[in-house]
């Protein structure tokens, strides 16, 4: 689906996974507003189509398609489709897809091993598989942005599988940065604090005020607060920044 007559080579092609809503949708709209061509990928195909519609309604150019980030064949099909949309290349990958709002909070002795495996498959294996599928379509100057979480630094109780998966994303980011750096591709991570998305609001009744008193900035984080970090790490001003994790949480964690 497209809404612009621009040549594919005149605009960057940005792929955002998990973009059917929440942070992913905010990223897609942010990159589109900056003039990028946006590929929206998600298992929720209806949500992905809605995000693409919002992009095109705002004057952007969008592609949307399904992806299961835990399935190598699915990630490769997605990458091939996006590369075709992008005139043969993908310039930016935002690994945003994750299991979050549905994760059960339990003491580590009581976590269901099946849920542990699911969280690791989506949150940690997913960024690896997507990067593996996309990197052959990237050239020098490519950018990869992985989504971790500030909860890695606070060690949130009763959430061992989620915290461990997001800690793994930071470690994976560093390895990717070294390996892909030889091709002049940068890889960085963002570690957002608690951010008001549909999933976050579903986790608790006091989402609007949760943790606000612990921040240097005494307000709740909005999705748009995280978009700017992604734009920086995916943009020209971060060309010599790689293997890093940027915490965006209003000053709740100082590391």
Which residue numbers are catalytic? 162
Residue with tokens 């075709």: 84
146 φ, ψ (degrees, to nearest 5): -100, 145
> The tokens of 106 are what?
């339990």
CA 248, chain centre distance (Å): 14
CB atoms within 10 A of CB 44: 15
CB 115 within 8 A of CB 161: yes
Q: Are strands 186-192 and 143-147 parallel, antiparallel or unpaired?
A: parallel
Q: Residues, the chain, total?
A: 255
Note the helical H segments in the chain.
22-33, 45-57, 72-85, 113-120, 126-134, 151-154, 160-181, 198-203, 223-233
3-state class percentages of the chain: helix first, strand second, coil last, to nearest 5: 45, 15, 40
Dihedral over alpha carbons 150, 13, 55, 5 (to 10 degrees): 170
CB 243 within 8 A of CB 174: yes
């Amino acid at each position: 689906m497209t809404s612009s007559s621009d040549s594919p080579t005149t605009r960057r092609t940005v792929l955002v996974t998990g973009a059917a809503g929440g942070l992913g949708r905010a990223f897609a709209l942010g990159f589109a507003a900056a003039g990028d061509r946006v590929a929206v990928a998600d298992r929720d195909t209806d949500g992905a189509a809605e995000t693409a519609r919002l992009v095109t309604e705002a004057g952007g150019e969008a592609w949307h398609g399904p992806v299961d980030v835990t399935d190598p064949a699915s990630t490769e099909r997605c990458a091939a489709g996006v590369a075709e949309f992008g005139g043969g290349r993908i310039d930016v990958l935002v690994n945003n897809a994750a299991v979050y709002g549905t994760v059960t909070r339990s003491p580590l002795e009581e976590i269901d091993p099946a849920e542990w495996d699911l969280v690791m498959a989506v949150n940690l294996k997913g960024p690896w598989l997507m990067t593996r599928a996309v990197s052959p379509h990237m050239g020098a100057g490519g950018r990869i942005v992985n989504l971790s979480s500030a909860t890695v630094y606070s060690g949130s109780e009763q959430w061992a599988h989620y915290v461990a998966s997001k800690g793994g994303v930071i470690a994976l980011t560093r390895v990717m940065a070294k390996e892909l750096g030889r091709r002049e591709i940068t890889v960085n991570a963002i570690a957002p604090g608690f951010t008001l998305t549909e999933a976050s609001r579903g986790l608790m009744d006091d989402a609007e005020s949760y943790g606000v008193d612990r921040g240097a900035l005494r307000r709740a984080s909005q999705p748009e607060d995280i978009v700017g970090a992604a734009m920086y790490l995916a943009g020209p001003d971060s060309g010599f920044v790689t293997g890093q994790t940027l915490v965006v949480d209003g000053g709740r964690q100082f590391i």
